[in-house]
Amino acid sequence: MTQAKQRFLSFDEYLSYDDGTENLYELFNGELIEVPPESGFNVEIATFLLIQFASILGYQRVRGHGLELEVRGEPKNLYPDFAIIQEEHIQLLRHRNTIRLSMAPPLLVVEVVSPGDLQRDRDYIAKRMQYQDREIPEYWIVDPQLESILVLTLAGDRYIESGSFQRSDALQSPQFGTLHFIPAQIFAAAR
């Protein structure tokens, strides 16, 4: 059995690490923290979005939970539940599905809120700040408990609310316009 290395001095050192598994890790204070599997409900929501956007943009521009995003602060990397990448990322991500700080940000990241106050705070506060710092143009917080989708848009160096969408609201994306699905379909797909 391979032992996980305890400390990494840089993100580059972390990127060269391979423990021979398919495990996902967040790098926090130089230490590896294994990312637990997502709930089936969250995966179903992210998959629904992936299918919808793949039909609009093509399969190469949409990424599920496996996309790793280098960020500033701790942890040093995040795995959004869903993302839309830029055209230039397609070739850059062929070897490793990691968007580095030196690369352009994805166009959209989506987090599906897991139950619990800690997860809620991470998605609504901590990740919002990290994605904002990464200058990601659009960030969606999909909240199954509230059955709502909060759409945030980067204005200058801050996110502003573009809209909060529930049930049968016409879902609007600042970058992709009016979408042909509504929040109720997203949450129904995962039931």
State the alpha helices, DSSP H only, in the chain: 11-15, 40-57, 89-92, 117-121, 127-133, 183-189
140-143: long-range contacts, CB 8 A cutoff, minimum separation 24: 140/108, 140/109, 140/110, 140/111, 141/110, 141/111, 141/113, 142/45, 142/49, 142/81, 142/110, 142/111, 142/112, 142/113, 142/186, 143/113
- Is the pLDDT assigned to residue 116 strictly greater than 80? yes
Q: What is the pTM of this model?
A: 0.90
CATH of region 36-189, choose from 3.40.109.10, 3.90.1570.10, 3.40.1160.10, 3.30.565.10: 3.90.1570.10
Q: What is the pLDDT of residues 12-69, one digit of tens each?
A: 988 888 888 888 888 888 888 888 778 888 999 999 999 999 999 999 999 998 899 9
d(CA 43, CA 39): 6
